[in-house]
Amino acid sequence: MNLMSVTAPASIPSPPADFSSISLGPLTIHAYALCILAGIILALWMTSVRWKRRGLPEEAVWDISIWAIPFGIIGGRLYHVISSPDAYFGANGDLSLIPQIWRGGLGIWGAVALGAVGAWIGCRRAGIKLSTYADVGVPGLLLAQAVGRWGNWFNQELFGAPTDVPWGLEIDANNANFPDGTAPGTLFHPTFLYESLWCLAGVVLLLALDKRFKLRGGRLFWIYAAFYTLGRLWIEILRIDDAEMVTLFGVTQRLNVWTSVLLFVISIGMFIFLTIRAKKDTNTSLYLPGREPEAETGPTPEDHRNETDGQNSAPVSSASQPRANLAETKNEDVNPRKPGTPGTAK
């Protein structure tokens, strides 16, 4: 028996069922929700640090995020419901489960899509380009995804096919997510861990690329989308939880597989398009047109000094000829000479 315990493969245990939530009187705190919340906090922290380094107004990042986050949560839930409809609209479905996000189920692409709508509203109000917020925020978004995936571990959900790898995931045989007809003790691919590690690698990649190439205009966001969908593609194929199946070109796969393929192609195309456009576009402002800070569009300190010199240079002597010339130039601006008279630019 000792020999069997020594030679048995290692595994990743799932937390006990009573670890998935904590009851504090009438309030129940779910570990899944805590993971999502922790991810949001870390994302906001990283985004605010990068925001300051861009020299952008500090309060603007919070004003935009307060729109983006709730929109993203709603969008993520709606995408999950659409991509896994049986639990809600099937024969034994329960519509009351739709708002219960603490039970698990947030689709990243719904979160990104509707979150972008919220961010666009916030950006319009703050005078910041949406591409600016996207480029600054995507490393933090990936960090939030890496942390949020651990909520699936607490819920014992979204695991992959049976496996004998040393890092196989244990799932309680009496858990509702344990596959029917599978022997107790079977280990499964820990797809939550694969995705978490993939996202962390993506954070490092995005920060390195941004530091090296100073990517702007939304290009860093599309690198994020391409990188994430590339990883999500093979991770999604491993998963065995219920999902909407779609047949294209004679191949039947999960909806998220086809979504990943489509978004990967779109992301590569958008990155190429924006890179070509960036070579022609000389406008590198991070702000919406007409919303740049006064320091960018108003008089420079040098202009102010020249204006002051002009105003104070009326009584001049021959020794201060440069100041007299400057005063003359100022007077020309007020009372322009007729074309052809001395001192007029032709």
In this predicted structure, what is the pLDDT of residue 100? 87
Name the residue with tokens 């958008």. Answer: 270
Cβ atoms within 10 Å of 204's Cβ, excluding its own: 11
Structure pTM? 0.80
What is the residue-wise DSSP string for 139-208?
HHHHHHHHHHTHHHHHHT-S-BSB--STTEEE--TTSTTSPTTPPTT-EE--HHHHHHHHHHHHHHHHHH
Contact in structure between 231 and 240 (CB atoms under 8 Å): no
Could you tell me which residues are beta bridge partners of residue 12? 169
Place of tokens 């194929």: 237
- Cα separation, 281 vs 274, in Å, equals 10
Cβ(259)–Cβ(293) below 8 Å: no
pLDDT band for position 340 (cuts 50, 70, 90): very low
pLDDT in tens, 230-287: 999 999 999 999 888 999 999 999 999 999 999 999 999 999 999 999 999 888 899 9
Within 8 A by CB and 6+ apart from 135, the residues are: 210, 215, 216, 217, 218, 219, 220, 221
Q: Quick one: what percent of the chain has pLDDT higher than 90?
A: 68
Residues contacting 299, CB < 8 A, separation 6+: 307
In whole angstroms, what is the distance from residue 279 CA to residue 31 CA? Answer: 47
pLDDT in tens, 176-218: 999 999 999 999 999 999 999 999 999 999 999 999 999 999 9
